[in-house]
Amino acid sequence: MAFEEFKEDLMGAEADMRSYVETSDEYLRLRIFKVLMLFVTSIAQSLLIGIGSVFALLFLSFAACLAISESLDSYYSGFILVGIFYVLVGILFYVFRKKLNAPILKKFSKYYFEQS
């Protein structure tokens, strides 16, 4: 009699373990899907905003080049000055590139480690 009860308890424990493993597997898949979708949507939003910003910056740069060229009475000097400005901005981005990593890591770690 005791052996039968022990056998039933073991079978119940086995069924509970299988259920736990299946549930954990489903939860892990949903969690990975959530993190991936947050990552993909963040990248898509960043790309769209970035493309719009690049076009706006391009047209504003041409306007600044033409305005500087007109004020200096030299067609090339406006483009050279705006080009030098962008080279300086690029150098600043290069110098501070490691400080730019921290906000990006914080943003995406928030998505991954968020408790649901």
- Residue ranges of domains in the chain: 2-113
pTM attached to this predicted model: 0.59
Residue 30 burial (10 A CB sphere; 0-12, 13-18, 19+): exposed
What is residue 74's three-state secondary structure? coil
Question: Residue with structure tokens 């949507």?
Answer: 41
**pLDDT tens for the chain, residues 1 to 116:** 666 776 676 677 777 777 777 788 888 888 889 888 988 998 999 999 999 999 999 999 999 999 999 999 988 999 999 999 999 999 999 998 888 888 877 877 776 676 55
